Amino acid sequence: MKCHECNREMTESMGDYHYLESGLDNVFLKNVCLHTCECGESFASIRGVVHLNAFIGRTLLKKKGRLVAQEIRFLRKNIGLSAKMFIEYIGVNKSTFSRWENDKQNIDKSNDRIIRLIYATLKGLPNDEVMLLLDDVFKEINKKGRKWQINIPPELLGQQGCGGSKECAA
C-alpha cells in the first residue's frame, strides 16, 4: 500500500491501536493491522466500524459510575442524534447539555440514566440487556464518573491479519 502523503510503500504490522477516531481517549483495539510509513504517516485497518462503535456504546451503558463528557457525546453521536434533538428527548436546556458535553459540569444521576435508556431504546437493545441496566448498573450510577480503559479484543473485529504481508497473515 502506498502512503497518501509521500507515495512510498507503507509497512504492515499487527499491533495495538489507540482508537481516537471514536471521540473517546480510552479505547484501545488489540492486535489490528497497522500501516506505517517512513514519513511518519500511520493508520489502522479497522473492519466493521459500525459494529465496533455499537460494542463501545454497549460497554459504556454497563459502566458503573456516571458518564463523562466524551461518553455522553459518543452515545449521542452513535445513535445519530443532533444535540438539539437529544436535548429534546432528555428535557434539559441547551446550556446544561453543552456543559455536560464540554466537561464543564458533571451530569446528575437521573439524567445519566435517561441518556442510557434513550441509547438502549434507539439502538433496539434486547429486553434482557435493558433489565440488566435497570437491575445492576443503575444502582451504581451514583458514583462520580471517571475515565476507564476499554480494550477491544481482535475477535470482536474479525481481524484476519493484514493484506498481503507475510508478517501479518493469520
Cβ atoms within 10 Å of 63's Cβ, excluding its own: 20
Burial status of residue 5 (CB atoms within 10 A of its CB: 0-12, 13-18, 19 or more): exposed
Q: Which of 59, 14, 62, 9 is nearest to 34 (CA)?
A: 14
| Predicted local distance difference test score (pLDDT) of residue 169 | 46
Helices (H), the chain: 49-61, 69-78, 83-90, 94-101, 109-123, 127-135, 154-157
Report the C-alpha gap between 107 and 141 in whole angstroms. Answer: 11
100-131 residue pLDDT tens: 999 999 999 999 999 999 999 999 999 988 88
State in words which class domain 64-147 has.
mainly alpha
34-49 residue pLDDT tens: 999 999 999 999 888 9
Prediction pTM value: 0.83
Q: Which of 122, 157, 130, 137 is nearest to 44 (CA)?
A: 157
Please give the backbone phi and psi of residue 43, each rounded to the nearest 5 degrees, phi first: -160, 165
Q: Where are the domains of the chain?
A: 1-48+148-170, 64-147
Q: Is the pLDDT of residue 15 over 50?
A: yes
